[in-house]
Amino acid sequence: MAPETSQFESSEMLATFLASTPLLEESWRLCSHANAAAQRSFAVNVVGQVAYVAFSAVQMVESGRNLVELERCGRGILGSFPCHVEGKKAVMVDGGLLQLFLSFYSSQAFQNKISEIFSTSKSVVLAGHSLGGGVASLSALWLLSHIRTTTTKSSPTVFCITYGSPMLGNEPFSQAVLQDRWGGNFCHIVAQHDIVPRLPFASSFPLDVERLRGLFVQLALQLSDENKAELFDKVLASRFGPAAGDDQERSWYWPFGSYMICTDKGAVCLDNGTAIVKLLYLMLAEGSANSCIDDHLKYEDYVSKVCLQYLQKRRLFEVSSSESSSESGIALALQSSRISSHQEPVFGTAVICLATARQLGWRRNLNTAKMAVSLSKINPFRAELEWYKTYCDRSDDQLGYYDSFKRRGASKRDFKVNMNRLRLGCFWDDVIYKLEKNQLAHDFHKLPKYVNASQFYKLLVEPLEIAEYYRTGVHREKGHYVEHGREKRFKIFDRWWGDRKVGDEESKPRSKYASLTQDSCFWAKVEEARDLIYNVTRETDPGRHLLLLDKIQKFEQYANGMIERKEVSVDVLAKNSSYNLFREEWSGLKSQLQLLPSQFPGFQDGMVQ
């Protein structure tokens, strides 16, 4: 019988890696230093080529527990990070934590230090205790977004570790992190009874707690026993426990990334939101009003114990050798969580919760394996499109691949080509759907097989998507393709291709034209340039007229560069292609404008001045 997969998949491997390296101890040591410094401070320490940045837990927030829309309050700082998730509500984050992050972001000293770290380090680890963890998470998202928009390949890796941090955003926020494939960049360390990560689930707090929220680490011990008990009871009575049921409305707040829930017996590691929430409740239920406060201040003890236990590779003594690796893993996780079989019905609920998390992790690997089979099954459709392109490029009508499809008739061949286009689109849409639902391996988007396959699909099929868009006249209603009609899958594949490791062979000049035009949106830009020529001939405003001419000229320079570098396919240069029609129309327009220099003084010798 084949061995079973890791019980809790990538989250378990991540926890093992963290506990067996200096990352946990170094990041917590710096968090302690930041906590002892001034309010709203941060600390930096560089160890070799790893830079650690820790944010103080002692922070003052102006607002209470309020979620705000990232699109409205985020100032666009997170770049292309989604502000809405398809089929979900708006992406929202805690307003107080967002304001804290923005106060750091607006500091020139902070910006200078981050810039210095980025230029000298290979890895950046952001960390924070309590509210400092929320600032660290938002800082990590900001840096990840920044890396995505830069063209350099030498950007450092970014990782975030939080200790006892309150939850940051809603479920769409968690989904957006998964959608951008950043879940593996975050690990949240939570002590078994720590109340702070569970606070957002409570519907209301005692007044003293609302006042102390911003300075919890410093003032928590000043809470009276009565307030501690009231706080503990309110969180336990909230809807985030198993009694709420999966079908009832979820809390506004929702976990993201991986969670390492620590006890003095070990740690449980999960990355499934539902399982995390349930286990947080079950473990808190075994605590007390005092322990829920004390645990928030004992992370140094938990970090040292977890590291020691992982390095010693503790084994479960109560599991017989006849049990499967799945059952052994669940039993070990239960022992680490300090939930025993004598604690019914908590024990039974915890077993179901951990088994479900294990199954979800196993299904990701299974789905990834199945996806390889599905990819092989669509290869014939792709091969038929390649044959069609070769046929069009050699055809006597000299239209080329793009224009032949755009002007296609009702033949059986044309129908089959269009059906293959749709079939391939459905396959890749299913890939994106499974990725966004966290149903594929965390590193799926980095696997060379799928990065290369998606890039080839994009270069081969997107010209057909563009042709269909303009053939059917959709651009007249929605606007031009690049801005208004491009499918999400192509934008995602752009990111995959941009994030890959580039070899030296890709920088060598081409000796012949590419088999596929290397800018999959080339034909959309041709169509837009032709439309600009049409608009120029009807524009009466001189200023607007020169602006249109400038856009056409920039496209001409871009297209000439593509051709000189041989980054276009031969269909671009076909005699009757849309690109050659653009060249003829643009040449004719320049001739007309040179005959009317007094009307358009900004256009001389075919150039916009």
- Which residues sit opposite 169 in a β-bridge? 93, 254
User: How crowded is residue 182: how many other Cβ atoms within 10 Å of its Cβ?
Assistant: 21
pLDDT on residue 239: 58
Amino acid sitting at position 365:
N
For residue 401, what pLDDT band results from cuts at 50, 70 and 90?
very high
Distance CA 117, CA 40 (A): 20
- How many residues are given for the chain? 609
* In the predicted structure, residue 127 carries a pLDDT above the cut 50: yes
pLDDT of res. 240:
61
Most confident of 143-152, 254-263, 520-529: 520-529
296 is catalytic: yes
Asked if residue 3 has pLDDT above 80, the reply is no
pLDDT of residue 500: 80
Active-site residue, from 180, 194, 393, 403:
194
Token representation of residue 151: 């063209």
pLDDT at 420: 96
Report in angstroms the alpha-carbon separations of 131 from 5, 22, 96, 296: 36, 23, 9, 12
| 50-55: strand order across its sheet | 42-47, 50-55, 123-129, 157-163, 186-191, 258-263, 266-270
Residues 491-505: tens digit of each pLDDT: 999 989 987 876 555
Read off φ and ψ for residue 315, nearest 5 degrees.
Answer: -115, 150
Q: What pLDDT, on the 0 to 100 scale, is given for residue 124?
A: 95
Pick from 228, 191, 231, 201: nearest CA to 338: 191
Is the model's pLDDT at 212 over the cut of 70?
no
pLDDT of 602 higher than 90: no
| Torsion region of 338: left, alpha or beta (phi above 0 gives left; psi -120 to 50 gives alpha) | left
Q: How far is CA 382 from CA 375, 412, 463, 518, in A?
A: 10, 17, 14, 17
Among residues 129, 188, 193, 296, the one annotated as catalytic is 296
Structure tokens at 534: 């049409």
Residue 476 has pLDDT above 60, yes or no: yes
Query: Which residue in the list 11, 130, 454, 577 is annotated as catalytic?
Result: 130
Of the CA atoms within 13 Å of residue 493, those in its CB half-sphere come to 26
| Residues contacting residue 197 through CB under 8 Å, at least 6 positions apart | 164, 165, 166, 167, 188, 190, 280
User: What would the pLDDT profile of 307-340 be if each residue is shown by its tens digit?
Assistant: 676 655 544 334 343 444 455 455 555 555 556 5
pLDDT of residue 231: 80
SS3 content of the chain, % helix, strand, coil (to 5): 60, 10, 30
Is 194 tagged catalytic? yes
3-state secondary structure (DSSP) of residue 52: strand
Taking alpha carbons only, the member of 97, 98, 91 closest to residue 71 is: 91
Question: Chain-wide mean pLDDT for the chain?
Answer: 81
Report the percent of the chain where pLDDT is more than 90.
Answer: 44
Going by pLDDT thresholds of 50, 70 and 90, the confidence category of residue 490 is: very high
